[in-house]
A and B are shown apart, each in its own frame.
Chain A
């Protein structure tokens, strides 16, 4: 896969990097995914392919269905269509089973166990792993997010927003996922903390070949760190193109000022 260095914007947002996308190597194949809440249909047939180790951003306005897509992939909302992870159908499985297949979801609002300590949160993430590898995994995560080390015995709810976000991502990585679903990991983070987080994500992604689907409001940031960007609009994913994807500057609402 190709990785763009910081500040090195991809030449075209819409060309999948070589060796990813439609090849037989795809880790995740989503076809015609529909989902919603009760009678309200949110997703109207999402198609998506993701290669192992590939980092893809999902952009789009609020309410377009980005979060719902992640929730359908991790089993939190019931979906119809087809979601194959390495050939295994995920739809119809419970979230706790989907995690076991290697999909970790860092939800909106982080989903931490607030009254439990930082260390306990991480240990819960590791409970599916073989006992003799948990200590090593813990060392890895604490090396990526050294701030957490100072707060190990502190309740997760007492951490700052940025630290909580790191803990949420760290806990997801403790499950050693093949696919990581991230719902706005930059929300509430200072720019420096955000860049640090994305640096870690990119390093983990390329080192462990973890594929990542990143829902992000900060389009410029997302484009800087991912190899490909998709736009969710009214429950469908569109893969850009000059008409489908506004160029930077033409629709400033998609971009955060001051970066």
Chain B
């Protein structure tokens, strides 16, 4: 029973990472109307920035805010310099651009940091370990950080003037311009925030998966599945789906004999296929909201 509980906590913490990256995907899609295939690689890049800072001797909780700031600025620069050119293009251009960005960032990271696997320090104290309870504690830490991040996002969007203007742009960019909102800045800020949210996912998952340029590839598949459940629009649905996927993956890998560690990735792919089959029309155009 304790084993099952630990599995669930473990699954939730993994799910929190998926939820974080899914939230980043939803953010970008709501503001720019673009599915950002490079979201995972940008998160990986942020994890490397954090690693570099830690390597230079900074404590984790100092490196984290610096990494987030770098991610916000970096995301805004990417949006302004590359994405802005294909924004509003309904066809394949945005997909091609973000896929290209994904491949480019991956290769560039390999060039700079090599494809060698590095260990990434776990920010949560391991000293409190009682055998297996240690991983439970660290899992709760991951869950806590993602929860705080979501709370901050909620407060920002619901209770600040800037958040209101960003929601206005997400609802109707033309009407927002007619109300005097500088939409270009909001789109940039949306990318920047998504990059920071993704960065948190990357930094939290790095100690578990070890740091390497391909680290986020698998995570992105789960995040996609979670975002699809929310139609790439609904942040709450994406987060809940991300958590659920984490638990389902962990439990399936442990308790369903033939799934095991290798077939776990079937779980998110199944979710994508089933959700798309149940919804009429492609993801995002399906009815609500």
Contact = CB atoms under 8 A, between A and B. Distances in A.
Given A112-B175, A115-B171, A123 B180 contact: no
B73 to A, nearest CB: 23
B177 A116 contact: no
Contacts of A116: 164, 167-168, 171
Interface of A is mostly: loop
A1 to B, nearest CB: 26
A127 B180 contact: yes
B180 A105 contact: no
A124 B164 contact: yes
Contacts of A128: 180
A96 B177 contact: yes
Given A115-B289, A116-B167, A124 B181 contact: yes
B132 interface: no
Contact of B175 (A75, A113, A123, A175): A113
Interface in A58-97: 74-76, 94-96
Contact of A96 (B167, B172, B182, B289): B182
B183 to A, nearest CB: 7
Contacts of A113: 167-168, 171-172, 175-176
Nearest to B171: A113
A99 B168 contact: no
A168 B172 CA distance: 13
Interface in B179-215: 179-183
Contacts of A114: 171-172
B165 interface: yes
A171 interface: yes
Residue of B167, B171, B175, B289 with most partner-chain A CB within 10 A: B175
Interface residues of B, number: 18
A175 B167 contact: no
A138 to B, nearest CB: 14
Interface in B98-122: none
B174 interface: yes
A100 interface: yes
Contacts of B2: none
A237 B269 CA distance: 59
B179 A175 contact: yes
A120 interface: yes
B178 interface: yes
A45 interface: no
B168 A95 contact: no
Contacts of A99: 177-180
Interface of B: 161, 164-165, 167-168, 171-172, 174-183, 289
16 contacts: A76-B177, A95-B174, A95-B177, A96-B178, A96-B181, A96-B182, A99-B178, A105-B178, A112-B172, A113-B175, A113-B176, A115-B289, A116-B171, A124-B176, A125-B179, A175-B179
Given A116-B171, A124-B179, 6 more contacts: A99-B179, A107-B175, A107-B178, A111-B172, A113-B175, A116-B168
The 9 closest A-B pairs by CB, nearest first: A111-B175, A99-B180, A113-B171, A95-B177, A128-B180, A96-B177, A124-B168, A124-B179, A96-B180
